[in-house]
Every structure is written in C-alpha cells, then in structure tokens.
Amino acid sequence: MKRFLTLILVLTVSLLAGCGSKENENNSETSKVKEEQKSEGTASTVDAVEPNQAHKEIEFKGINWIMGAPDPEPTAGIWVYNKDKHPSSLDNQDWDHEDMLYVQASKKYKHQQITIKKLQVIENDVVKIIVAWEKDIGRELPPRDYVTVETGALDGKKFIVEDMDGQKVDIK
C-alpha cells in the first residue's frame, strides 16, 4: 500500500509540475503573440493609406449621331457650344436646355477613338475631362467626342484632358 501511495504521489506531482510548465509555455506564447500584434498594429498604422480625393462631377449625355457626326475641326482642341455660339450645322439642337462639349484629340492618335467618361470639377474654374480609348482601325479622322451638358454648366471653365490611366491627352 505504501508503494501505491508513493506512486500516486509521484504521478500527481509530475502531472501538476507538467501542467505548470505547459501553462508557462502558453503564457510565453500568448505574450509573444500580443507583442507581434502590437508591432503589426504599429506597422499597419504606418501602412495606412489616405483615401483618394473625390471630385464633384458634371452630368452629361453622349450624343448618338444618327445621320453622322459633323465634320471634325481643322485643329485639335476643346469647344463649348451654346445657344449663342455654335456651328450652323448644329442649329437643330435644343439650345434652350443644353450646351454641348466637343473634344477633339490630336491627329497623332491615328486609328483610335475617344469616349468621354467623366467631367470632374477639380477647381472652381477647372474641369478634368476623362476619356477612354478605343481602337478604330482604318479611322482617318482624329479621335473626338461630343456630349451635352446642362445649360451654363461649363461657362467660364478651363479644361484638362486625361485618359482612364491618368495620361494627359494631346489636344493641341
């Protein structure tokens, strides 16, 4: 019986001692994880990114030229047509309710067409025109697009033209 009690005592002590060492290991692992999380927390703060700047946008509608678009201008550029100033070929437009924006890129962009995607007001007097490129093999005309905007929306504005990748588009 003495042997049996001694055996139980030894087993109990070894179990308790073993659990304690396991608990110490768990505590040290937990503290390591907490330290890593703290260091990751500061790293994630350092890697934090500010949001991109959002700009007010001007609403517009693309024009579907059923009978074909007017002839291009002789040079690249940007034109804002309104009731008082527009080519005679555009007399049939609803000038009482809308103005028209015409963008024509340089002839160096052969075999491509542009589509106006956004009109962003980046300053009170500056509008960024964002365009998308589309391949148009065989196209001899310069890339160009027309859109209509609310009357007066573009009065007194200057323009920057960029593509969807942020590259400046040559309009000179």
Question: Distance (Å, rounded) from C-alpha 77 to C-alpha 105?
Answer: 7
3-state secondary structure string across 114-144: EEEEEEEEEECCEEEEEEEEEECCCCCCCCE
Question: Distance (Å, rounded) from C-alpha 91 to C-alpha 99?
Answer: 12
Instruction: Judge whether 147 and 116 are in contact, CB under 8 Å.
Output: yes
Hey, which residues does 114 pair with through a beta bridge? Answer: 133
- From first to last of its 172 residues, the chain has per-residue pLDDT tens of 667 667 777 777 777 766 555 555 556 666 665 666 666 555 567 788 888 888 899 999 999 988 888 999 999 999 999 999 999 889 888 999 999 999 999 999 989 999 999 999 999 999 999 999 999 888 889 999 999 999 999 999 999 999 999 999 999 8
Q: Helices H, strands E: what count in the chain? A: 1, 8
* pTM confidence score: 0.70
Provide the residue type at 131 as one letter: V
